[in-house]
Chains A and B, each alone.
Chain A
Amino acid sequence: MAEKRGRTLAEKVWDAHTVRRGEGAEPDLLYIDLHLVHEVTSPQAFDGLRLAGRQVRRPDLTIATEDHNVPTVDIELPIADPVSRTQVDTLRRNCKEFGVRLHPMGDAEQGIVHVIGPQLGLTQPGMTVVCGDSHTSTHGAFGAMAFGIGTSEVEHVLATQTLPLRPFKTMAVNVEGDLRPGVTAKDIILAVIAKIGTGGGQGYVLEYRGSAIESLSMEARMTICNMSIEAGARAGMIAPDETTFAYLKGRPHAPKGADWDAAVADWRELRTDDDAVFDAEVHLNANELTPFVTWGTNPGQGLPLGESVPDPAAIADETERFAAEKALSYMDLQPGTPLREIAVDTVFLGSCTNGRIEDLRAAAGVLRGRKVADNVRMLVVPGSMRVRKAAEEEGLDEVFTAAGAEWRQAGCSMCLGMNPDQLKPGERSASTSNRNFEGRQGKGGRTHLVSPLVAAATAVRGTLSSPEDLN
């Protein structure tokens, strides 16, 4: 019998949600506290329920929004694309039929599913949160176990409020030290992905720890957990602390009065025990980090902004070399070109990675009193209607429009180009989103992933830049 050891944060949350332990090869049955739904990955799941004559077991633990397809201009008009319109209408019908709360386009609480959950106070420490979207990992910033699922699993959760799953392995990602000015959470996570690779987190839940993580705001923590999936991990987590509690207190769905005290007492236990052992550990020194950008077609192909496009010939591993050659060909880049000399056509500020108020503030701080370069278009797409409203109350919209950027309505927008916000073939973007896959932002489009600060500086100079290049 193994010696009884302490447990990691992930193991504590898992244990607290185990309806039944699997025997032998059978998975555990895990209870789901919150199910987020959007229009793209749910229609076939609701159809499945109808075919089997099943109901939504817990509509009171389910919430839906329209985000992937919605246009970010003229939202008072019907959606022009008939296929998108049908998908959005289908969600509306399904939510009505099955009694699920929906925030439709134009609603004050509408927005990207991973922005509205935390904003409403629905995402809380120690919960299990799922959504038919891989960036559900975002919610792990609160110390929740949050992960993306496929449509069959969406149907399963709708019908049973549970999922059969085997426990994830645990990996500690220790980030110690202090970030230099101009270096952000986005740079941390891009550096983590470059270090462990796009497959490095497969099978793991990542727990981000260390002084650099503890000093981050909730928005910044969400940016980090959001991109855990880009390292192959289904989930990323950060232990809740005073920053977490302060963010939650007073939000519409946060506990109140005596419930608040009981909840906080419970949440304070959500830390990895000192004698717990992770299945794997990696370390990063925050002091050494600089702004990070991607040069290739997967999020692991990134480098500090001060470096140059790598030479595939220098890569020893055959598979990696081949991937780098293909990426440079697609991206139309030459080895040895300084990253700072790469010119872009478009700058996209937004997405569930970097579409929160703090991200807009950071970019606006760079753009204030400056202009977007003549040959660059910049789209600013708030993550939710509430973020948009908060930004307008602070006058950020005026900073963006005065600089020549477009101020849009809330949605996923150019992160994945399901709505009309897309790159044209051959166009190049600096994007605060999460994926630089071939064609992700539009067929033939080329994407460089960057932080909001780098996005704003790039918009001004027209080439990949950090704010210090503007002085």
Chain B
Amino acid sequence: MEPFTKHTGVGVPLRRSNVDTDQIIPAVYLKRVTRTGFEDGLFAAWRGDEQFILNQEPFRQGSVLVAGPDFGTGSSREHAVWALKDYGFRVVISSRFADIFRGNSGKGGLVAAQCEQSDVEQLWKLLENEPGTEVTVDLEAKTVRAKDFTAPFQIDDYTRWRLLEGLDDIALTLRHADEIAAFEAQRPSWKPLTTAQAAS
């Protein structure tokens, strides 16, 4: 994973709450077996509407999405993170993220920056009043900045460290392979195996 320290890009105000992962990428786009190429599925239903924010200049080039509360609810599809990244987003700002989406973001190199709702609303006003305003997201300092406006954001320290370093989770876990083996050795023998012959 590529390290993330700081990013500056056009902010996109998405004034919607409960943006579920079916909206971020509908199920029909999940049939592919690749990990890239999902940008056409991003907000597919909404992008059919000319008035949708991503169909407007200069938001089309946006890379920092500023959304309403409860972003990423619903399905566990990591394709939602891939679609946002493939489109060009590096950061999503919201006052509340669904747990699975937040986890998937951390794995996929997308920063899920949690701000106070009042700060989200200030950002919305700023981005709507001056379309094209750039937002700077500093992961080291845990701040978002746009023009004179600065606000802190929250992200858990472990995810932040992994993003800053661009670390692979599996390699980190495999450093503890001995402990995993020791744990396995003391599991109760009656725990089920999928391979055991089913009694008829």
Contact = CB atoms under 8 A, between A and B. Distances in A.
A159 B172 CA distance: 12
Interface string B184-199: 1001111111111011
Given A19-B179, A232-B99, A437-B23, A199 B74 contact: no
B96 interface: yes
Contacts of B70: 198-199, 202, 232
A338 interface: no
A127 B97 CA distance: 27
Interface size class on chain B is 35 or more
Contacts of A20: 176, 179
Given A60-B194, A150-B103, A156 B76 contact: no
Nearest to A300: B18
22 contacts: A19-B180, A25-B161, A31-B180, A40-B30, A43-B33, A59-B194, A60-B196, A68-B27, A87-B31, A90-B33, A101-B195, A150-B104, A160-B170, A198-B18, A199-B69, A202-B70, A229-B100, A232-B99, A252-B200, A253-B194, A259-B189, A418-B31
Nearest to B191: A33
Interface stretch (A118-126, A304-312, A361-369): A118-126
Nearest to A122: B192
B96 A202 contact: yes
A164 B172 contact: yes
B76 A437 contact: no
Given A41-B76, A60-B193, A124-B192, A150 B26 contact: no
Contacts of A463: none
A160 B180 contact: yes
Interface string B20-54: 10110011101111110000000001000000000
Interface of A: 19-20, 22, 24-27, 29, 31, 33-34, 40-41, 43-44, 47, 52, 54, 59-63, 68-69, 81, 83-84, 86-87, 90, 101, 120-122, 124, 127, 132-134, 148-153, 155-156, 159-162, 164, 166, 198-199, 202-203, 229-230, 232-234, 252-256, 259-260, 262-263, 266, 297-298, 319-320, 322-323, 326, 416-418, 435, 437-440, 443-444
Interface in B94-127: 96-100, 103-104, 107-108, 117
A164 B169 contact: yes
Contacts of A234: 99-100
Contacts of A159: 170, 173-174
B107 A152 contact: yes
B173 A150 contact: no
Contact of A41 (B77, B99, B184): B77
Nearest to A134: B76
Contact of A262 (B100, B158, B187, B190): B190
A159 B168 CA distance: 13
B60 interface: no
Given A150-B107, A319-B68, A416-B27, 15 more contacts: A29-B173, A86-B31, A149-B103, A150-B108, A151-B104, A164-B172, A166-B156, A166-B158, A202-B99, A229-B74, A232-B73, A232-B99, A322-B16, A439-B22, A440-B27
A439 B48 CA distance: 13
Nearest to B32: A83
Contacts of B193: 60-61, 253
B78 interface: yes
A322 B15 contact: yes
A19 B33 contact: no
Given A153-B103, A153-B107, A52 B76 contact: no
A161 B31 contact: no
B157 interface: yes
Contact of B170 (A155, A232, A322): A155
Contacts of A127: 191
Contacts of A34: 192, 194
B66 interface: no
